[in-house]
Structure formats: structure tokens, C-alpha cells
Amino acid sequence: MSRPYYIAGNWKMHKTRAEAAELAGALVAQLKDGKHKYLVAPSFTSLETVGAIVRGTNILLGAQDCAAEEQGAHTGEVSVLQLKDLGVQTVILGHSERRHIYKEDDELINKKVKLALKHGLDVILCVGELLEEREAGNAEAVCETQAVKGLEGVSAADLSKVTIAYEPVWAIGTGKTATPEDADAIHAFVRKVIAKLYGSGAAEKIIIQYGGSVKPENAARLMAKENIDGALVGGAALKAETFVPIAKFA
């Protein structure tokens, strides 16, 4: 079964509104004839600005995180209701930086996943192992735990709104990339995990992106693999001249 390719740009903590607007405008112009599914996730402060530029185009608006509660006394947090109000369609959850720098655990991430889905947002759920976990032979076990716990209580119907992103933590922003073979092996494994939870039909359909130093030079080789259905791009998403060739990989 052929799954649509899905290329997402995570801008992380970069860009003022003016810079974000400039990049969004360039992407709208250069990707309008793109054949894949596209998303950009700017900082919270630029969501409204970028949302106005990508509205009605083939580029979806994503947020990089959301709070685990709908509203209330949560200083510094941003709720799904506020994100929806800005036109956000998708939220990235469980990114390795949230897990490892901000110490988010599987339970918290699962709470966010269910809350986002309840409010009609799509989710990109990130999974991935640290270098020491890979070297100890635990890469698959770590990814299985994160996928199973992240999706706990998510119905089969809601699973259709979830994309998984496999991000080996040792390959994020380090310039190291998992070989296409290594990445594909984990993607195939995660697909098996989904099959165990939701059946083979759901596993065939689910889109699994690769994230971890994706560049114009390696995008096509990664995408050629059977189980890699797109990319969650970090550093290379910050400039049109590096994101567009990934988004239009041939």
C-alpha cells in the first residue's frame, strides 16, 4: 500500500515574527506545486503570523507542544483551545527535547496526546532512543515503550489522526544520521508495534516520519525505504533553500 509522504518542519526556538513570515512566504511560493503533505511548526509567538500566510495553501500549521490541561492556573503553558483559536491543525508531542531536557514522561505525553485528539487536532508523536540505549541494544524496546504508552487509551478511529516520528536522539542536530537501513529497521519495528495494538490494516496506513539530521543530500535515500513515510526536519527547515529540496525530494 502506498502511503502519502509527509514532510514537516519544526522551527524550534528560532525566528522572530518577521523572520517567520519571510520563511513561510518563501515556502508557500516554492511548494505550491509540491506533491506531498507539508507542515510547518513555528514558535507559539509566530503561529498567528505564519497561520495567516499558510492559510488556504497546501502547508498545514503545526504547534511544537501543548499543555496537558485545557485551561487554568498553568503559568507559561499554552492550551489546545488557544492553539485551535490560532488555526493550528496539528501538534508535535513527545519531542526528544521535551522528553530529555524538560523531563516529560510517557504519562504526561499520553495525557497531551489524548487531549489534543479530543479537541480535533492531529498529532505527531515522537519516539526515539538515546545513544547509550542504542549501544546497549535497547533501541527497539525504548521505541516500543514510548509508542505503547504514548498511545494508551487512543481509539482506532483516533489513530488515523496520529503520525509517528522516529527520532534517534543521537542523530538530532548532531550531523549524525541513522543509515537509511537502520532507520527503516526501526520504522518497520514500530509498524509491528502498531499492528499488535491496532491490527495490520492500521499499521499499513500509519505514517511514520524520520527525524534526525535530515538534509537535502540524504532525504531521497531515506524516503526510498519501504517504511519511511516522510520527515520531521529540524535545522534544515529553517531555510527555504534547504527545506524545499527535502520537501520536493525526487
CATH number at residue 234: 3.20.20.70
Kindly state the helix (H) or strand (E) to which residue 135 belongs, with its residue range. Answer: helix 131-135
Q: Is the pLDDT of residue 104 over 90?
A: yes
Boundaries of domain holding 144: 6-247
Asked if residue 26 is part of any domain, the answer here is: yes
Could you give the dihedral angle defined by the CA atoms of residues 150, 154, 156 and 157, in that order, rounded to the nearest 10 degrees? -120
pLDDT tens profile 217-244: 999 999 999 999 999 999 999 999 999 9
In degrees, rounded to 5, the angle at the alpha carbon of residue 56 between the alpha carbons of residues 28 and 161 is 100
Asked if residue 1 is part of any domain, the answer here is: no
Asked if residue 191 is part of any domain, the answer here is: yes
Give the pLDDT of residue 57: 98
Give the pLDDT of residue 1: 60
Catalytic residue among 97, 104, 129, 167: 167
Catalytic residue among 36, 95, 97, 104: 95
Name 117's bridge partners: none
Give the pLDDT of residue 2: 80
In degrees, rounded to 5, the angle at the alpha carbon of residue 94 between the alpha carbons of residues 91 and 96 is 125
Task: Record the pTM.
Answer: 0.97
Other beta carbons within 10 angstroms of residue 156's beta carbon come to 11
- DSSP secondary structure of 171-188: GSSSS----HHHHHHHHH
Give the pLDDT of residue 245: 98
Asked if residue 230 is part of any domain, the answer here is: yes
Question: Is 167 considered catalytic here?
Answer: yes
Total structural domains within the chain:
1
Question: Is 100 considered catalytic here?
Answer: no
pLDDT tens profile 156-184: 999 999 999 999 998 877 777 789 999 99
